[in-house]
Chain A
């Protein structure tokens, strides 16, 4: 069957099997391997992408079900050569070691901050509670998201970076 969806702002159309999962559509059909594929049972959360702005575990959604919707992956976080504040926060606060959980963590963080620009620590921990990190003990991930909340993207920031 043919599916059309918007991925990181670009409309894509591909012929797929109805049983193709969104995570494999992104990684194998589109070659966007920034989305990781982990437990395959909607437990680990490394496959999280944003569908219409909401975090979704892409191992448990069909590409077919996503047709007509907007998908954002980690490849779509930076804009115009400028990292998203969440990405910058993960750099500043060492929010990753092995990096496996990172794309899912960052997208969930992005969705959280879009909805709640000033979350407290409890809200951050709740938001990422469906995602597993085996390196950091979560402390630096929480601090990374706090950094991003304290440094929201602004046009002035972009201009400063370009200047």
Chain B
């Protein structure tokens, strides 16, 4: 399944169709449309219409791909009316976010900002404000674009994805959810219903992205989540990179921090190791050396900001 978020990186192509006035128009290939009213209804529609049916939520990844014929579903199952997927619930040890929660709603949520500031950092730079009115968290994760920001956010927060299908519900760790670019554990006849973020005391997080202009995909980005022990040492650290050719977490960069007291020297070492773990490719957004530099620098910055947010600073602790 996929639902949707920000813009595809494909640029305009002269695909497809005509308005009938001699004016080239990009239109999707023909398909049939059904609107689901509940999760059960959506699953039934996916089952009934078979493997060429596809879920649509915000539509801001899927529709552009359909215009370019990169996607060609025979049926679209619209889940925008499935109200049970729009929840945002704080419990004692977990924040439960419905898959249909829009980017704009995540950015507006004080609860999200307080518990997971990294989500607000990322949401501010995902696409643009108008696109964020439509794109959804479930769509972002389901699309699994390698340059997509929320994937890194979910990686470092050790989120879980709830998937519902004909066989019932299963909860998948984010690391197992992602199978590679544009591939996830969610099968065609299943639906992402919820993303769960574990709430931990003495923890914080941050995300920083370098982009060429508003709404563009990342040149590079990094995210971090930290958990401090009572004595002020790092108890747990997760570092993720976006658009830098790293699947999953930068584990070696995080490992040098765990058990240690924060210092600028240690953050620099983590940055260096994150850059080593990255394998960026040169494209119109920049050369490899530049992107590796960003992996290093952005990793330091998000670690520093996470520390500031949890009430510690690498600078203040440096001498201690």
Contact call A28/B19, Cβ cutoff below 8 A? yes
B141 interface hit (Cβ, 8 Å): no
* Interface size classification for chain B: 35 or more
B25 contacts A by Cβ under 8 Å: yes
| Contact among B12, B25, B33, B215 for A64, CB-based, below 8 A | B33
The proximity string for B residues 204-220 relative to A, scoring 1 for CB distances below 8 Å and 0 otherwise, is: 00000000001100000
B30 cross-chain contacts in A, Cβ below 8 A:
17-19
Contact status A48-B28, CB under 8 Å: no
Q: Which of B223-255 contact A (CB under 8 A)?
A: none
Chain B residues, Cβ within 8 Å of A56 = 130, 133-134
Q: Are B130 and A130 in contact, CB atoms less than 8 angstroms apart?
A: yes
- Contact (Cβ within 8 A) A57 B28: no
The answer to whether B130 touches A19, judged by C-beta atoms less than 8 angstroms apart, is no
Check A65 against B67 for contact (C-beta < 8 Å).
no
The smallest C-beta distance from B34 to any residue of chain A, in angstroms, reads 9
User: C-beta contact mask, A53-89 vs B, less than 8 Å → 1, else 0?
Assistant: 0111100111011010000000000000000000000
- The stretch among A37-45, A91-99, A139-147 that forms the contact with chain B is A37-45
Q: Does A24 contact B (CB under 8 A)?
A: yes
B-contact 0/1 string along A1-31, CB 8 Å cutoff = 1000000000000000111110010001000
A160 to chain B, nearest CB (A): 34
Q: For the complex, is B128 an interface residue (Cβ under 8 Å from A)? A: yes
Q: Is the CB of A24 within 8 A of B19?
A: yes
A55 to B29, CA, bound (A): 26
User: How far is it, in angstroms, between the C-alpha of A21 and the C-alpha of B64 when the chains are bound?
Assistant: 11
Whether a CB of chain B sits under 8 angstroms from the CB of A32 is no
Which of A19, A45, A54, A130 makes the CB contact (< 8 A) with B28? A19
CB-CB nearest in chain A for B63: A60
B130 cross-chain contacts in A, Cβ below 8 A? 45, 48, 55-57, 108, 130-131
| Given contact pairs A62-B63, A65-B78, A130 touches B215 in the complex (Cβ within 8 A) | yes
Question: Complex formed: what's the CA distance from A17 to B29 in Å?
Answer: 11
Contact assessment for B11 and A41 in the assembled complex, using a CB-CB cutoff below 8 Å: yes
From A41, A42, A65, A131, B56 is in contact (CB under 8 Å) with A65
CB distance from A24 to the nearest CB of B (A): 7
| Contact yes or no, B214 A130, CB < 8 A | yes
Chain A hits for B27, CB < 8 A: 19-21, 24
- Cα–Cα, bound, A55→B132 (Å): 10
B residues near A155, Cβ cutoff 8 Å: none
A127 within 8 A of B: yes
From B35, B63, B129, A126 is in contact (CB under 8 Å) with: B129
Give the CA-CA distance A24 to B179 in the complex, in Å. 37
B76 interface contact, C-beta 8 A: yes
Contact for A129 among B19, B59, B129, B134, CB less than 8 A? B129
Q: Confirm or deny: B290 has a beta carbon within 8 angstroms of a beta carbon on chain A.
A: no
Which of these, B8, B64, B66, B80, contacts A65 with CB under 8 Å?
A: B80
Chain A residue with Cβ nearest B124:
A126
CA A20 to CA B66, docked complex, whole Å: 12
A43 with B215: in contact, given A48-B130, A65-B78, A131-B130 (CB under 8 Å)?
Answer: yes
B210 vs chain A, min Cβ distance (A) = 16
Check if B60 is an interface residue, CB within 8 A of chain A. Answer: yes
- Does B26 reach chain A (CB closer than 8 Å)? yes
B-side contacts of A127, CB under 8 Å: 129
From the candidates B12, B35, B129, name the one contacting A40 in the complex (CB within 8 A).
Answer: B12
Given A60-B134, A129-B214, A130-B131, verify A42-B33 contact (CB < 8 Å).
no
Question: In the bound complex, how far is the Cα of B127 from the Cα of A57, in angstroms?
Answer: 12
Q: Which residues of B contact A43 (CB under 8 A)?
A: 7, 215
Known pairs A41-B11, A43-B7, A130-B128; list 16 more (Cβ under 8 Å). Answer: A19-B29, A21-B63, A24-B27, A41-B8, A42-B60, A42-B64, A55-B133, A56-B134, A61-B134, A62-B76, A64-B33, A67-B35, A127-B129, A129-B128, A130-B129, A130-B130
Report 25 cross-chain contacts, Cβ distance below 8 Å, ordered by A residue: A24-B27, A40-B12, A40-B25, A40-B67, A41-B8, A42-B7, A42-B60, A54-B104, A55-B129, A56-B133, A56-B134, A57-B130, A60-B64, A61-B59, A62-B59, A62-B76, A65-B56, A126-B129, A127-B129, A130-B129, A130-B131, A130-B214, A130-B215, A131-B128, A131-B130
